[in-house]
Structure 1
């Protein structure tokens, strides 16, 4: 259940100065729209008409509906950032670079490759954290049995295991021997190689 809405009026009847702290679905919607556009939570809360970041976290803890809206906005944000990566990589950005050499400051106008690389790396890191299954670097492999159940195992006697291993080794040796004979025959046909 969301926190109670208050009028925001002090006991004297005048408007309370400062940022809003009472829950407002309208403000939550604005915050989520800004997040979905790719802004940070801090940037989304900029302005005297918006709550502080800590107030937003308090609202998130108190409202399941806002939690769902917020998570969807963050998911959309990660897709937006994914698209931004290509734009940043494909668009050169000119800037002035100052380097101190031999006591003199040398100024050159150049593409800000380091800055663009930093922007890309920051977005890659963030989207990997927001949507690890889709954009994360690490893949997790799970083994399971039929219909997602546990893997079925059965006990095998030492004798059966020894026979299976011997058969496997014989097949492997036969395959290696065949490959060596084939390679030897190719070398005899073409002595230049």
Structure 2
């Protein structure tokens, strides 16, 4: 409350100003998802003054499971759009622009691999084949005795086995 020069209290209220949307809306969510699927980055989408800020969209993803799942699916589709764009960049490269094209394609390959690792990520061979040979207690005691330059009886005592097991 402020007082004017006539000593009458007046209240000053800020008028609501139009701004970025911050309340979840299916219509805005659909626009965001459509632009993601076309290959546009969330940063770029949220830079649009008619779109909510990036923090708002991330909050929507966390608070709205359906929207979060749709965003994840849109990111997978986005990887396909990025993949298609890489071909366009390669096709339009000239000898003068080939280095820039290589850099752009390399960056896009990395993004596609992060967005859809099963489709565009490095393939890792996680199948390991190991041959395990089992040695008898006697063989292990003999090896220990050889390594430590002691008798097999001493090696047997050292590991705590009765002498009859060695």
Please list, as runs of the form range in 1=range in 2, the aligned pairs for 1:17-96 lying within 5 A after superposition: 17-93=18-94
Do the aligned residues in 1 keep the contact of 2:60 with 2:67 (CA within 8 Å)? yes
Q: Distance in 2 between matches of 1:37 and 1:19?
A: 22
CA gap of 1:90–1:17, structure 2 versus 1, over 3 A, is: same
TM-score relative to the length of structure 2: 0.65
1:90-122 deviation digits (Å, cap 9, x = unpaired): 1125xxxxxxxxxxxxxxxx6211111111011
Are residues 1:124 and 2:125 paired?
A: no
- Provide Cα deviations, 1:12-71, integer angstroms capped at 9, x if missing partner: 796433211111121111101001001011112232221011111111111100111101
User: Structure 2: where are the runs of 5+ without partners?
Assistant: 1-12, 137-166
- The root-mean-square deviation of aligned C-alpha atoms, in Å, is 2.8
**Structure 1 consecutive aligned stretches of length 4 or more whose deviation exceeds 3 Å:** 12-16, 154-158
Please list every run of 5 or more consecutive structure 1 residues that lacks an aligned counterpart in the other structure.
1-11, 94-109, 145-153, 159-193
Deviation at 1:123, TM superposition (A): 0.5
Deviation at 1:133, TM superposition (A): 2.1
Q: Report the TM-score when normalising by structure 1.
A: 0.56
Q: CA–CA distance in 2 between the matches of 1:69 and 1:18? A: 25
Q: Comparing 123-132 with 45-54, which one deviates more in the overlay?
A: 45-54
CA contact (8 A) 2:112 2:120 kept: yes
Higher strand residue share? 1
Specify the structure having the higher radius of gyration (Cα): 2
Q: SS of 1:111's equivalent? A: coil
